[in-house]
Amino acid sequence: MSSAPNDEAYSTMRWVLDNARNGFYLFIATPPMQRRVADYFSEYDIAVYDYGINDAPYSYADLAKWEMQQEAKIFFIINMQIALLEESDIVNFNLSRDLLTKTDIIWVFGMTSDTDDRFARIASDLYSFIRLQSRFMDEGSESGELTPIADDIPSDRNYDSYDEAKEQMDRYAVLCEELLALPMDTEPERLLSAAATIENIADAFSNYGNYSSATNLYMRTKEIREKVLGEEHPDTATTYNNIAGVYDSQGDYHQALEWYCKSYSIILRELGDSHPFTAIVEENMKAAYIKTGASESFEKWYNDNFFPSDTHD
């Protein structure tokens, strides 16, 4: 279901998919909203290429190779902000516009507002090839603007420029290299401190739509916390929930559900059903379950999985 602020954008996009034969279309949204938009139109015969997963600079050759392996004629290419980090990437994307528009395909590119702003400065002529540009607000928010990077990890700040944001991301990358290099026999307190920082950086990458980097960092946090705290510790369960969230953002709801369940089982047992975090994980789990399209109710599935020995009407 679309939210009211986005009704017009969804309706316009639907008209395009119903009537267009080919063309180059653009929509602006935050990384999680880009996935929502792609999921919303999953009823169409579409293929989705997510640069949040395929973390690489833009390359027409790579995109064309992927396109040849698909049977769909509608392609959603989302999280373009990951593929267009450098000015040269934008130039390459701009230069491939003729090749893209001459294909018998509907290309729908999703990117964040800061990347769209950079296009206006670096490759403004690209817009003459775009048949439609839509802007989606985050559902439940009043702004479609992206808060791309964190200030002090985690992300809670708008940067004055893309260059400032990218500089912060580069600093995170350097810091990650140092933290990831810590051997697992380092003293436990230092390992746990490193894990907390790594996880905060992973949050920033995830919020920016760089799911590949986020997943790798969350997995490192998982490895540290399982070693030092054990698999049954609430902090370890928090990492499981974060891993689930990345899969959720990528539309891999079955994988997300596995991690949510793992987290929930621990939280429910260790913190109880009245703890706020238990409720948060349960809501995350419920949303992921519904998005899998399962036919049985969440309540039945929940009872069968977490209270299998009970008798239910």
At 149-199, the pLDDT tens digits run 333 333 434 445 556 666 766 777 777 788 888 889 888 888 888 888 888
225 falls within a domain: yes
Taking residues 85-96, what's their average pLDDT? 89
What percentage of the chain exceeds 70 in pLDDT? 87
Domain count, the chain: 2
Whether residue 116 is predicted with pLDDT greater than 90 in this model: the reply is no
- DSSP assignment of 118-172, as one string? HHHHH-GGGGGG-SEEEE-PPTTSS------S-SSSS-----SSHHHHHHHHHHH
On average, the pLDDT of the chain sits at: 84
Residue 216 lies in a domain: yes
Is 9 contained in some domain? yes
Q: Are residues 170 and 300 in the same domain?
A: yes
Same-domain pairing of 73 and 175: no
236 shares its domain with 289: yes
Contact (CB, 8 A) for 211 and 252: no
- Give the CATH number of the domain where residue 62 resides: 3.40.50.300
Q: For residues 35 and 89, state if they share a domain.
A: yes
Q: What is the CATH number of the domain that holds 282?
A: 1.25.40.10
CA distances 67 to 70, 105, 170, Å, are 5, 10, 31
- How many of the other CB atoms lie within 10 Å of CB of 52? 28
Say yes or no: 166 and 301 in one domain: yes
Same domain, 216 and 128: no
Residues 280 and 192 in one domain: yes
Q: Which of 133-147, 204-218, 242-256 has the lowest mean pLDDT?
A: 133-147
Average pLDDT over residues 97-119: 86
In a domain, 142, yes or no: no
Residues 114 and 32 in one domain: yes
Indicate whether 172 belongs to any domain: yes
In a domain, 46, yes or no: yes
Residues 285-293 have a mean pLDDT of 90
Are 128 and 225 contained in the same domain?
Answer: no
User: Is 110 a member of any domain?
Assistant: yes
Does one domain contain both 174 and 260?
yes
Range of the domain at 208: 162-306
- Confidence bin at 143 (pLDDT 50/70/90): very low
Six token digits for residue 65: 């190779």
Average pLDDT over every residue of 109-137: 86
Residue 3: band (very low, low, confident or very high) from pLDDT cuts 50, 70, 90: low
Q: How high is the pLDDT of residue 144?
A: 39
Q: Is residue 217 part of a domain?
A: yes
Q: How far is CA 122 from CA 30, 69, 78, 127, 266, in A?
A: 21, 32, 20, 11, 50
pLDDT of residue 150: 34
5-33 pLDDT, tens digit per residue, is: 788 889 989 998 998 888 889 999 988 88
Residues 79 and 170 in one domain: no
